[in-house]
Every structure is written in structure tokens, then in C-alpha cells.
């Protein structure tokens, strides 16, 4: 019997309406009548330079979310299973130092540019920019000191039955090599149905490139419970972007049909992950951008369903972005200890990063990531949970 069954309205228009209409569930609706709890702030440690870091706790519609001012990090995401039992379904740490030392981007807000840019270099309006290089010869997730390493200004809010946080960070001209001062706002909202919505906004005073995303690692059976290979995944993507040995897209949009990359029908993640396909060998699993069939849309549309058969938990993702990076936790090597006190090994979590394509500034055929003065970068991703 399903206790948290979602009633998600189908279609692009329905998916893009206010987050409060996206879902309903009997267990999660228990706390919905009077809205969510007021956001709670508590200390979470101090950086080496003396900067205080705080953790904010949100709860609404049966979903519990904890967010750090450091890196805009989702430190914990708790949802119930089919029996109403809660578990933290996001990988992460209990202490600040582990996040500062870490290289896995657990739960982080990513910028200025999510994913990779080849050789950390791109040309815009005839001028070439050299970025911070931190992934071999390439730039990954904004460089050595991307947005995941910054302390964000956080403003809590309540709006009707919604609760949330507005996070602000200003990246100055030249930071990590990027042109323009980028003023960024990221809004996390939990509605009365327990849906988690992320709204990204940014403006610039010089032409630049921007690609913001969130890097939460999911394990719907619960953090520290083992691998996600039994999780079933559906992606609304009939093509993906193959990569070279540095995980940079080749520029090709390859069909998934007849390959291990075909998730157009729901299947276990582990079914084909060890087939020996050259792309899987290079990445040590899935670490690829999937080209969403809908393309860039004015409103978020349903593009991902993830389900854990054991707990019954489900995650559905709606986005207006053209791509989703599916990463199967290939580089987790057993040296990291999570909140459960258990080590994270290969495949113990997965990321589903809504985004524009990797290396788009160097691939004119990819959807553009250029932002110019006078324009506002806006994108929305919505997560709905059920069991």
C-alpha cells in the first residue's frame, strides 16, 4: 500500500505552475494544513579565517531539509518511506571541516559554471578567458574556489504555506577567471506538499557564461545503506553527449537506443553499468549529460523519475533546463565516512544535475550559456517525493 502517493499533474504547463500545486500525499499532508515550520538557524562551525557558518533547517509537507550557508550545501534531506519511516536520502557529512576538505561536492550549489569547460578556456566576443583549472587540464564546477566554497548570505522566509531560504552571493569580475561581476540569488522552497523547489537567478555587468546547478547525491534507501544499483531510473532523453578521456563532450549528440544509456524506459541503474561500453569504461560508470527531448522550455517539465524498490521512495524532477548530468558515484572509493558513520563506496549515491550542457562555451551547436548585461539568468528545478 502506498502511503505517500504523489498526484502530479501531467504536462509542461501543469509542471510549471506554482510549486504548491505539484503534488499531494497522505503522510506528507499531515503537516500541510497550517504550513511549514519557521526556518531554524543554528551554528555549524567556523572557517579558518574566523567566518561563522550556520545550518538552516526547513520542514514542510513531510519533507525535512537542512542547508548550510557554506557552499549553499544541502547537508540533509529526510523523507518517509512507504511505512512512514524517515531516512536522510542525501550523502554528506556531520562537520564543516569535512566539507572544506572534500572534493565530492556533496549537496553543493555549483557555479559559476556547473560541469566541465575544456582546458579551462573559452572565447567570448573575440576575447579568450583562462579559468581556474582543477580537473586535470580542465575546469570543473567553477574552478578551485567555485560557489561551493563560498559563504552565502541567507535570508529565511515564509510565504503563505511555503517556507524557504534565499541565498545570495556576488562573484566579482575576474573571480576564477570569469568575466563580469555576477550577482546570484538561489531560492530553496518547501511547499505544503513537501516539494523542494530551487529557483536560480543571476545578473552580470559584463558578458559572461553561467550554468548553475545543485550537486546533491541521492540514495533513496538512505544515506550509508549501500549502492544505488537497484534504484530504477527513467530519463526523458533519447540522446546523450559522449565524452573524450577527460570527460569533455565530443560535440556529438548520440542516440541512446540500443546502448546502456537508454533510460527512456525505467530500468535498474546497475543493469548495464558493467557492460564494457567504451563510454562507461572511460567514466568508470555513468557521468554523462543526457539531452532532454523537450529542450529548453519556458516552464519546468517532468524529466526524471528515480525509485528505490526496497523503501518505495520516489523522486521526480521537473526542470526548464535542456540537460541532466547523471553521475553514478563512480569516484567514491571507501575513504569518506558519512553521517551514518559508514563509508561511501563506488555507487553508494548518484547525482542528477539539471543543467545546460558541459563545455557549451566551446560548442556553438549546444544551447548557449552566455549572459549579457541587462538580462537575467533564471531557471527552476522542482523535486517531488513520494512512496
Q: Is the pLDDT score of 79 beyond 90? A: yes
Q: What is the DSSP string of 77-128?
A: EEEE-TTS-EEE-B---SSHHHHHH-SS-TTEEE-SB-SEEGGGEEEETTEE
Other Cβ atoms less than 10 A from the Cβ of 320: the count is 23
Predicted pLDDT of residue 35: 63
Is residue 348 within 8 Å of 91, Cβ to Cβ?
A: yes
Residue 203 resides in a domain: no
Q: Among 78, 301, 353, 363, which one carries the catalytic annotation?
A: 353
Is residue 377 within 8 Å of 371, Cβ to Cβ?
A: yes
Can you tell me the mean pLDDT for 210-219? 98
pLDDT band per the 50, 70, 90 thresholds, residue 36: confident
Predicted pLDDT of residue 37: 83
Is residue 153 within 8 Å of 127, Cβ to Cβ?
A: no
Q: Among 78, 175, 193, 215, which one carries the catalytic annotation?
A: 215
Residue 122 resides in a domain: yes
Q: Summarize pLDDT for 238-252 with one digit per residue, the tens.
A: 999 999 999 999 999
Q: Summarize pLDDT for 303-353 with one digit per residue, the tens.
A: 999 999 999 999 999 999 999 999 999 999 999 999 999 999 999 999 999
Can you tell me the mean pLDDT for 105-113? 98
Residue 195 resides in a domain: no
Q: Is the pLDDT score of 22 beyond 70? A: no
Predicted pLDDT of residue 8: 32
Q: Could you confirm whether 277 is annotated as catalytic?
A: no
Residue 194 resides in a domain: no
pLDDT band per the 50, 70, 90 thresholds, residue 203: very high
Residue 71 resides in a domain: yes
For the four alpha carbons of 10, 16, 21 and 25, in that order, the dihedral sign comes to positive
Question: How many domains, the chain?
Answer: 1
| Dist CA 317 CA 367 (whole Å) | 21
Question: Which grid coordinates are listed for 197?
Answer: 523547489
Residue 287 marked ligand-binding: yes
Q: Which CATH number covers residue 138?
A: 2.70.98.10
Question: Which grid coordinates are listed for 77?
Answer: 534531506
- Which H/E stretch holds residue 278? helix 278-283
Contacts of 116 (CB under 8 A, 6+ apart): 135, 138, 139, 140, 246, 247, 248, 358, 359
| Rg (the chain; Cα; Å) | 19
Q: Summarize pLDDT for 129-185 with one digit per residue, the tens.
A: 999 999 999 999 999 999 999 999 999 999 999 999 999 999 999 999 999 999 999
Which residue's C-alpha cell is 560535440? 251
Q: Is the pLDDT score of 270 beyond 50? A: yes
Question: Which grid coordinates are listed for 199?
Answer: 529557483
Residue 115 marked ligand-binding: yes
Q: Which long-range contacts (CB under 8 A, 24 or more apart) does 21-27 make?
A: 22/191, 22/193, 22/195, 22/318, 22/382, 22/384, 23/193, 23/194, 23/195, 23/384, 23/386, 24/193, 25/61, 25/62, 25/193, 25/194, 25/385, 25/386, 25/387, 27/3, 27/62, 27/80, 27/84, 27/387
Residue 266 resides in a domain: yes
Is residue 210 within 8 Å of 297, Cβ to Cβ?
A: no
Predicted pLDDT of residue 23: 43
| Dist CA 91 CA 149 (whole Å) | 17
Q: Could you confirm whether 215 is annotated as catalytic?
A: yes
Residue 199 resides in a domain: no
Percent pLDDT > 90 in the chain is 90
Residue 371 resides in a domain: yes
Question: Which grid coordinates are listed for 209?
Answer: 557564461
Kindly report which listed range (24-28, 251-255, 295-299) carries the lowest average pLDDT score: 24-28
Structural domain of 160: 12-173+208-386
Q: Summarize pLDDT for 252-266 with one digit per residue, the tens.
A: 999 999 999 999 999
Beta bridge partners of 214: 109
Amino acid at each position: 500500500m502506498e502511503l505517500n502517493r504523489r498526484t502530479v499533474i501531467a504536462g509542461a504547463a501543469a509542471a510549471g505552475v506554482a510549486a504548491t500545486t505539484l503534488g499531494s500525499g497522505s503522510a506528507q499532508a499531515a503537516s500541510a494544513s497550517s504550513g511549514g515550520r519557521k526556518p531554524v538557524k543554528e551554528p555549524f562551525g567556523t572557517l579558518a579565517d574566523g567566518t561563522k557558518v550556520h545550518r538552516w533547517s526547513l520542514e514542510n509537507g513531510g519533507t525535512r531539509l537542512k542547508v548550510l550557508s557554506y557552499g549553499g550545501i544541502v547537508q540533509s534531506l529526510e523523507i518517509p518511506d512507504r511505512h512512514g519511516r524517515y531516512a536522510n536520502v542525501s550523502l554528506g557529512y556531520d562537520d564543516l571541516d569535512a566539507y572544506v576538505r572534500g572534493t565530492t561536492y556533496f549537496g553543493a550549489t555549483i557555479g559559476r559554471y556547473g560541469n566541465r569547460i575544456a582546458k579551462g578556456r573559452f572565447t567570448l566576443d573575440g576575447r579568450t578567458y583562462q579559468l581556474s583549472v582543477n580537473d586535470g587540464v580542465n575546469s570543473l564546477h567553477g574552478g578551485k574556489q567555485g560557489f561551493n566554497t563560498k559563504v552565502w548570505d541567507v535570508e529565511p522566509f515564509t510565504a503563505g504555506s511555503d517556507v524557504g531560504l534565499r541565498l545570495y552571493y556576488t562573484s566579482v569580475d575576474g573571480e576564477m577567471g570569469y568575466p563580469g561581476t555576477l550577482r546570484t540569488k538561489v531560492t530553496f522552497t518547501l511547499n505544503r506538499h513537501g516539494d523542494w523547489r530551487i529557483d536560480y537567478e543571476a545578473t552580470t555587468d559584463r558578458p559572461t557564461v553561467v550554468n548553475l546547478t545543485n550537486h546533491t547525491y541521492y540514495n533513496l534507501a538512505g544515506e550509508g545503506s549501500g549502492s544505488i544499483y537497484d534504484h530504477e531510473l527513467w530519463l526523458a532523453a533519447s540522446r546523450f553527449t559522449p565524452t573524450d578521456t577527460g570527460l569533455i563532450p565530443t560535440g556529438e549528440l548520440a542516440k541512446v537506443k540500443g546502448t546502456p544509456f537508454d533510460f527512456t524506459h525505467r530500468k535498474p541503474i546497475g543493469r548495464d553499468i558493467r557492460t564494457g561500453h567504451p563510454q562507461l569504461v572511460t567514466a568508470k560508470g555513468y557521468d554523462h549529460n543526457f539531452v532532454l527531448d523537450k529542450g529548453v522550455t519556458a516552464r519546468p517539465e517532468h524529466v526524471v523519475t528515480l525509485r528505490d524498490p526496497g523503501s518505495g521512495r520516489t523522486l521526480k524532477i521537473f526542470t526548464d533546463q535542456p540537460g541532466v548530468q547523471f553521475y553514478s558515484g563512480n569516484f567514491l572509493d571507501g575513504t569518506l565516512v558519512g553521517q551514518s558513520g559508514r563509508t561511501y563506496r563506488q555507487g553508494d549515491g548518484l547525482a542528477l544535475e539539471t543543467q545546460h550542457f558541459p563545455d557549451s562555451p566551446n560548442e556553438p551547436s549546444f544551447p548557449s550559456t552566455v549572459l549579457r548585461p541587462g538580462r537575467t539568468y533564471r531557471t527552476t528545478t522542482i523535486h517531488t517525493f513520494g512512496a
